[in-house]
Amino acid sequence: MIGNRGARLDELEALYRSRFDVFERVAASVTGDSERARDAVQEAFATAVRKRGSFRGDGPLEAWVWRIVLNAARSDVRRSTPAVDYEEPAAANGHPERDAELRGTLARLPERQRTAVFLRYYADLDYVAIAEALGMRTGTVAATLNAAHAALRSRLEEVRT
């Protein structure tokens, strides 16, 4: 590889249009607020457009963008009230009680563990992409997810007993 691959504008736009909801909703798990999450996603994509020449291409483009989105969301949190919980969805279908338990326990996880969970099980990223998005080694992703599972299992059991 000689230099950077760079990201094309049309690639970024296609990613934005196809995955906007996923980016915004996972960002909301960091900011605790959909509006602020949307703002973070918009700012993050504007940053990605400006800096697209620096995308090295040694990982997936989506992972590179995720990193920018999560950084934007964390910056938002640092600038304002820290997110301790994220807002409830307007309508919770399925299993309202179990969903409330899960939401509560996820909210109490450390931010990196919680974000790793959403990236893996909601955004459907593989370990390599999660590692790039969170700035950690691939091996650490597995450990982080294991820790999240253990914490969730323990807390959900506490809630139910």
**Nearest to other proteins of 78, 97 (CB atom):** 97
For position 121 contacting other proteins by CB under 8 A, the verdict is yes
**Nearest to other proteins of 1, 84 (CB atom):** 1
CB 62 within 8 A of CB 19: yes
**Nearest to other proteins of 9, 143 (CB atom):** 9
- We find the least distance from the C-beta atom of residue 138 to other proteins, in angstroms, to be 19
Determine the size of the site formed for other proteins (CB under 8 A): 61
For position 93 contacting other proteins by CB under 8 A, the verdict is yes
Q: Which of residues 7-66 bind other proteins (CB under 8 A)?
A: 7-9, 11, 13, 16-17, 20-21, 24-26, 28-29, 33-35, 37-38, 42-43, 45-46, 49-54, 56-57
